[in-house]
Structure 1
Amino acid sequence: MPAFSDSSSDAIVSSLVAVPAGTPVSQVAHRLLELFTGGDLEAGTRLPPERQLAASLGVGRSAVREALAALEILGIIDVRPGSGTYLRGSASDLLPQTLRWGLMIGEQNTDQLIELRAGLESYTARLAAGRVDAALIEALRGTITAMEGAQEDAAAFVAADAEFHAVLARAADNSMLTDLLDVSRTLLRVYNDRAVHDQEDMRLAREEHAEILAALEAADGDRAASAMVAHMATARSRILRASGTAD
């Protein structure tokens, strides 16, 4: 862990400006989060003492203490008694996590989340068509085989379905896209797990996955994206039905 140096402390303090009088703790946390995810601080950086942060922000130490406690719960910082407070990750590590928490604690709109996931999955399929290799094609084929063998086991079918999309994301080879997909899938998981509940749903979903795989095998990005759009459309109907918000 990097040592706490005057230079790093001065850089952090100089980057902060006072927040308006009466600012709630959440705004202090937001100001600190902007600094932490700005890309100028390395993972493991030790933060200045509370009194320095409080002086720079123009707030009381209790406000800084509560803001830091919230950021620790979110996994942004690591408070070590007797040692100090450290930044847990780099900006690229922290941004997906802050996005995840922001979506999870905000007001959720199931239909909008489905639209977000549909766009991400479609782009993932397009990228994967040009990047997938033989080993990943075989892994995708294996998930479809698992779907075929899970006609009497909805939980196993859902697991194979999820694995197909996970392998597809690996084939797309874009870590930021994968992080965004993970967020949307996590938020929709409770509905995904209930959405496929009869053999007709399973048959249609399996055929849709097979069409996506065929497009990948042909290295046809347009076809893969279109097949995923079709799959997401039927998945939307199933998820909205499961969530009780169907049109």
Structure 2
Amino acid sequence: MPAYAADSSAEITAALGSMPAGSAVSGVATRLLDLFTSGQVAPGTRLPPERELASTLGVGRSAVREALAALEILGIVDVRPGSGTYLRGTSSELLPQTLRWGLLIGERNTAELLELRSGLEIYVARLGAARLTDRQLATLGRHVDRMRASVDDLKAFVQADLDFHHALAAGVDNQVLLDMLQVVRSLLRVWADRAVHDQAHAVRALEEHDAVYQALLRRDPDAAASAMATHMATASARLSETPRA
């Protein structure tokens, strides 16, 4: 479907339709994002006025105003006083921001986020066995060595753990996967602080990371995925059992 011209309020409001009963700021933002990422709205398009959007969606103007303010913070729209609100980028450029927003406005179900992270990490490990260069593998090895040297310093251990996972994800050269993992990790910030409770947990986590690393060194996708699945299962269990602050 062709993108709307730069000044096509009627087409945009027609495409939006009405909101389900009870929806507010997050619902408005989600509906707008669905439209923006559909490819129907060209970058630089001026959006309909707040009053028109509120009437079309069946919500108050304050909900529209707050949703647009949030989208501006994310860099999705550009609010120009006295001129209007304009879409900033193409649908592909908006994907990382909309993914982040979509997770943030939804119910933050830790169990579901853990399942998503586990699946992504396992897939990354499988890809890594085939894609990582010798230099990237050496970097992972140094992170494992840092973990080994800091089992009695949990703060340093956790940082080395995070660096290992980030380096592995970055090494598979798939920006969408990396974006998704970064979003999920940001929503599981408590993970970084509480995934390892004591030295015994650190030792076990070290063994699990080393198993992943050894499988990657052997260029064995099945073994790498299996080792990461084992690590994700124990790490997820530790976080799930941790009381919330």
- The interval holding the TM-score normalised by the smaller chain is 0.7 to 0.9
Query: Could you tell me the percent identity over the aligned residues?
Result: 49
The residue type equivalent to 2:49 in the other structure is E
Asked if 1:14 is matched to 2:8, the reply is no
Relative to 1, partners in 2 of residues 1:21 and 1:133: Cα closer, same or farther, differing over 3 Å? closer
Aligned pairs (5 A) from 1:1-247: 7-10=5-8, 13-17=10-14, 19-20=17-18, 26=25, 27-41=27-41, 43=43, 45-48=44-47, 50=49, 54=53, 57=56, 62=61, 64-82=64-82, 84-243=84-243
Q: Which runs of 5+ in 2 are unaligned?
A: none
Cα 1:94–1:164 change in 2 (3 A) is: same
Moved more, 19-28 or 32-41: 19-28
Give SS of 2:152's match.
Answer: coil
2: CA distance, partners of 1:60 / 1:195: 42
- Return closer, same or farther for 1:20/1:147 CA change in 2, 3 Å cut-off: closer
Measure how far apart 1:101 and its partner are: 2.6
Of 226-235 and 182-191, more deviation after overlay is shown by 182-191
1:9 aligned counterpart, secondary structure: coil
When structure 1 is superposed on structure 2, of 169-178 and 22-31 the one drifting more is: 22-31
- Secondary structure, aligned partner of 1:39: coil
Higher mean Cα deviation, 215-224 or 45-54?
45-54
Decide whether aligned partners of structure 1 residues 214 and 13 sit closer, same or farther in structure 2, where only a CA change above 3 A counts. Answer: farther
| CA RMSD between the two structures | 2.9
TM-fit CA distance, 1:52: 9.2
TM-score of the superposed pair, with normalisation by structure 2: 0.82
Q: CA deviation at 1:169?
A: 0.5
- Residue 105 of structure 1 and its aligned partner are, at CA, apart by 3.1
Change (3 A) 1:60 1:238: closer
1:62 alignment partner AA: R
- Is contact 1:125-1:224 (8 Å) kept? yes
Q: Secondary structure at the match of 1:16?
A: helix
Give the TM-score taking structure 1 as reference length: 0.82
- For the 8 Å contact 2:215–2:223, the answer to whether it is kept is yes
CA contact (8 A) 1:50 1:65 kept: no
After superposition, give the CA deviation of every residue in 1:77-135 in whole Å (9 maximum; x if it has no partner).
12132454332333233233223233233222222221111111101100111110011
Letter in 2 for 1:222: D
Taking structure 1 as reference, are residues 55 and 193 closer, same or farther at Cα in structure 2, changes over 3 Å only?
closer
- Using a 3 Å threshold, how does the CA distance of structure 1 residues 100 and 57 change in structure 2: closer, same or farther? same
Residues 60 and 195 of structure 1, relative CA distance in 2, 3 Å threshold: closer
